[in-house]
């Protein structure tokens, strides 16, 4: 099965859009191939922890397309408190519980409400090989046995897997769009304001731009006695204040 065959069969192309540069470039690539009537943009909103204006940015860059917003029943901070620990690169519950789960549920609901697609769907994600060794090994196109149930035929596609970051920004410009404002403010990636996968410079920038959220995270580290970032092998855990060098002044 090829992408063109799925387009010709009238499949729904469900594009997961975080508001970040990769999602934005991916949508341009998909839109150049797939008729608008076969595209659904789906955004998993993360109340309280995503960048200001993210949902608005998604809608503004998806004009002419169906766009839906989904949300998990729990917030990121609620998830962390219930678990008594932060997510880690190995156990990324934030991705599975707050993004992938609600997005897949949203796609299933949309398919049910739109029988013209006959349960045929291609889920598109803007994951790129350049980002990490593990992402470089990801399959760019595959049949999803897990989601192909109840009459659904489901495929997963990574449309910009081989695209390099310079090309990402060029693709956005070719769509006559601007990336989210946080990039111009100094961020190299856009997910949650603070991400366990963030670079040191991104953490510092996010702390400067989101001082109230940063203070909540520092307070939660102390409450749980568990650091936001996993310690490197052979090193002791370090809290956000120590890592970034930015102290929080709490009222006594």
pLDDT in tens, the chain (252 residues): 899 999 999 999 999 999 999 999 999 999 999 999 999 999 999 999 999 999 999 999 999 999 999 999 999 999 999 999 899 877 788 888 889 999 999 999 999 999 999 999 999 999 999 888 888 988 999 999 999 999 999 999 999 999 999 999 999 999 999 999 999 999 998 878 999 888 999 999 999 999 999 999 999 999 999 999 988 777 888 999 999 999 998 765
Whether residue 67 contacts residue 43, with contact meaning beta carbons closer than 8 Å, is answered with yes
All domains of the chain in start order, with CATH = 3-174 (3.40.50.620), 193-244 (no CATH)
Whether residue 94 contacts residue 72, with contact meaning beta carbons closer than 8 Å, is answered with no
> What does the buried/exposed string (b/e) look like for 211-239 if buried means 16 or more CB atoms within 10 Å of the residue's CB?
eebbbbbbebbeeeebbbbbeeeeeeeee
pLDDT at position 183, please? 96
The full length of the chain comes to: 252
How does pLDDT run across 78-133, given as a tens digit for each residue?
999 999 989 987 778 888 888 999 999 999 999 999 999 999 999 999 999 988 88
| Cα(238)–Cα(232) distance, integer angstroms | 10
pLDDT at position 40, please? 98
Phi, psi values for residue 97, rounded to 5°: -85, -35
Specify the pairing of strand 120-124 against strand 66-70. unpaired
Question: How many contiguous H segments (helices) and E segments (strands) does the chain have?
Answer: 12, 6
Structure tokens at 133: 């060794």
pLDDT at position 252, please? 55
Structure tokens at 73: 């029943």
How many Cβ atoms sit within 10 Å of the Cβ of residue 22?
25
How many Cβ atoms sit within 10 Å of the Cβ of residue 96?
11
3-state secondary structure of 15: strand
């Amino acid at each position: 099965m090829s992408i063109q065959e799925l387009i010709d069969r009238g499949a729904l192309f469900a594009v997961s859009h975080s508001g970040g540069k990769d999602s934005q470039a991916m949508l341009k690539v998909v839109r150049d191939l797939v008729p608008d009537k076969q595209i659904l943009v789906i955004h998993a909103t993360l109340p309280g922890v995503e960048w200001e204006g993210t949902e608005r940015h998604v809608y503004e860059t998806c004009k002419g397309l169906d766009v839906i917003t989904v949300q998990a029943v729990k917030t990121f901070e609620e998830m962390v408190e219930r678990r008594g620990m932060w997510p880690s690169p190995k156990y990324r519950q934030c991705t599975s519980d707050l993004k992938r789960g609600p997005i897949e549920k949203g796609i299933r609901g949309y398919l049910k409400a739109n029988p013209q697609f006959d349960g045929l769907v291609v889920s598109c994600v803007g994951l790129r090989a350049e980002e990490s060794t593990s992402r470089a090994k990801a399959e760019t196109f595959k049949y999803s046995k897990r989601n192909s149930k109840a009459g659904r035929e489901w495929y997963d596609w990574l449309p910009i897997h081989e695209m390099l970051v310079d090309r990402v920004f060029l693709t956005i410009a070719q769509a006559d769009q601007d990336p989210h404002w946080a990039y111009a403010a100094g961020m190299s990636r856009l997910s949650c304001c603070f991400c366990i996968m963030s670079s040191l410079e991104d953490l510092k920038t996010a702390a400067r731009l989101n001082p109230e959220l940063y203070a909540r995270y520092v307070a939660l580290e102390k409450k749980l006695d568990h650091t936001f970032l996993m310690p490197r092998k052979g090193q002791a855990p370090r809290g956000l204040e120590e890592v970034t060098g930015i102290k929080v002044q709490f009222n006594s």
